[in-house]
Structure 1
Amino acid sequence: MARKVNSAGIKLVQTFEGLKLEAYTCPAGIWTIGYGHTKGVKKGDKITDAEAEKILAQDLAQCGEQIEKCVNVPLNDNQFAALASFVFNVGIGSLTASSLLRRLNHGDYDCVPSELSKWVKASNPKTGKKVTLAGLVKRRAAEGELWLETDSGDAFLNSQDMPQQVHADDSRTIYRVAARSGLRVRSGASTSYDVIKVLPLDTQVYVIREKEGWAAIDTEGDGALDGWVAMDFLRVHQT
């Protein structure tokens, strides 16, 4: 039986999609009806509240099935729901081709909120240019918050009180340099930037963020940016 999206995920989708019982064009110029349903929708279509709920359930079930096929790590209910909302909005093709999925499948759960926040642009149907939409910014933030919200019921994990002893996160994914002749570290994310230093083969680093095939790296594990390297020459460190 397919895994169901929890109530928090359903509410998130309903909130951001809104309910329209008559077909309309979304900001990207696509005919839409109900809670963001687009497949087969045409001008003049009308549905009832009950039909909108049924269609939403079917659409989310499909998103869930698609997620289960491509995500190879365990997800709690809120994490699953956050991805379902994302896929509902951008499509499964965007997820499967994303650095979000690649990093998540390598065990980097913490990257997801920041990876989600990249997906905030839509093509203006009048100009064809990609522009940032405020609604997408808010939706990605809400999905990121849902991703981080524990659903374990553990009183300690759910506590809002601030502990007086805090530890650094040592669970980040470690990468290693795979370039046999060494990997050039540059001051920016392209070959036009100066080389700061060269990291020997198998040097371990942390990736802070990615940009167009380049990775901002932390070589000391202190969270500070130490430069940029080509992502193609990094591999997840196998312990």
Structure 2
Amino acid sequence: MSRQINEEGLNLVKNFEGLRLDAYRCPAGVWTIGYGHTGGVKPGAKISEDEAEQLLAQDLADSGGKVEKCVKVKLNDNQFAALASFVFNAGIGNLTASTLLKRLNTGDYDCVPSELAKWVKATDPKTGQKISLPGLVKRRAAEGVLWLKIDSDDPFLTSTDMPQSIHADDPRVSYLVTAREGLRMRSGPGTNFDISKVLPTNTEVFVVKEKDGWAAVDLQGDGVIDGWVSQDFLKLKPV
């Protein structure tokens, strides 16, 4: 039996999904019913409130099970619930491919709220463009707050006063080149692009973004993309 989401996580999901007993199209055009259930929903479908609760329990159990499989570090109940909510809404594919998961699995717990905040876009069915939605911004923020909620008597961690000296999270992930003969860096994400440089084994690079098995890398740590390399020959730098 998979780990169960706690009450705070359950209430978060219910609050943001809302209860609809008649099938409807969500803003992204997906047929939905109950508390955000999407599997096999057909136009005109109707369910009872009890059925909506059962579907939600099944969906969250599935989301929680997927979180348990891909997260390699320990999570408290609030942290687990926050990620289960994210997977329920955004899908396990987005979590497994995310910088969030890569950083978290190295033990970088503090990155999670700011990484969650990146996932606020949906595709407008009318234009095909990805746009930020206020509802997603609010949900990611709530998941971030739940992630950070701990029992502590540390006045710095629990203060309700707003800090006036703040810092941006560092989105860069540090990797090492593993190719024995060096790794070819290209001008674009694919073998059809020109080779601009060969990076020796154990060269440290920062991954800026990823596409189809290729990583855009920053060699200087200044946020500028220097080229693209195959992700197959990169490994996370030990922390």
In the alignment, does 2:40 pair up with 1:37? no
Amino acid of the structure 2 residue aligned with 1:85: S
Per the alignment, residue 85 of structure 1 pairs with: 85
Give me the CA root mean square deviation.
4.0
Question: Aligned partners of 2:80 and 2:156: how far apart in 1?
Answer: 19
Show CA shifts across 1:21-50 (max 9, x none).
2222212333222211123433141322x4
SS in 1 for 2:2: coil
Question: Aligned partners of 1:173 and 1:133: how far apart in 2?
Answer: 24
The total of aligned residue pairs comes to 228
In the alignment, does 2:61 pair up with 1:66? no
Per the alignment, residue 25 of structure 1 pairs with: 25
Q: TM-score, normalized by length of structure 2? A: 0.71
Question: Aligned partners of 1:62 and 1:138: how far apart in 2?
Answer: 24
Question: Aligned partners of 1:20 and 1:66: how far apart in 2?
Answer: 25
Question: Aligned partners of 1:193 and 1:7: how far apart in 2?
Answer: 54
In the alignment, does 2:178 pair up with 1:178? yes
Matches within 5 A, 1:3-14: 3-14=3-14
Show CA shifts across 1:150-186 (max 9, x none).
42434356332689xx9xx99x964223345556789
Amino acid of the structure 2 residue aligned with 1:214: A
Structure 1 pair 25/227, CA: closer, same or farther in 2 (3 Å)?
closer
SS in 2 for 1:24: strand
Show CA shifts across 1:115-151 (max 9, x none).
4314522351x55x2432412333233333433x142
Per the alignment, residue 105 of structure 1 pairs with: 105
Per the alignment, residue 141 of structure 2 pairs with: 141
Higher mean alpha-carbon deviation, 150-159 vs 1-10, is at 150-159
Is the 8 Å Cα contact of residues 5 and 60 (structure 1) preserved in structure 2? yes
Is the 8 Å Cα contact of residues 22 and 44 (structure 1) preserved in structure 2? yes
Q: TM-score, normalized by length of structure 1? A: 0.71
Per the alignment, residue 52 of structure 1 pairs with: 52
For structure 1, the residue ranges without an aligned partner over 5 or more in a row are none
Amino acid of the structure 2 residue aligned with 1:131: K
Question: Aligned partners of 1:205 and 1:17: how far apart in 2?
Answer: 40
Is the 8 Å Cα contact of residues 177 and 235 (structure 2) preserved in structure 1? yes
Per the alignment, residue 236 of structure 2 pairs with: 236
Structure 1 pair 215/138, CA: closer, same or farther in 2 (3 Å)?
farther
Structure 1 pair 216/118, CA: closer, same or farther in 2 (3 Å)?
farther
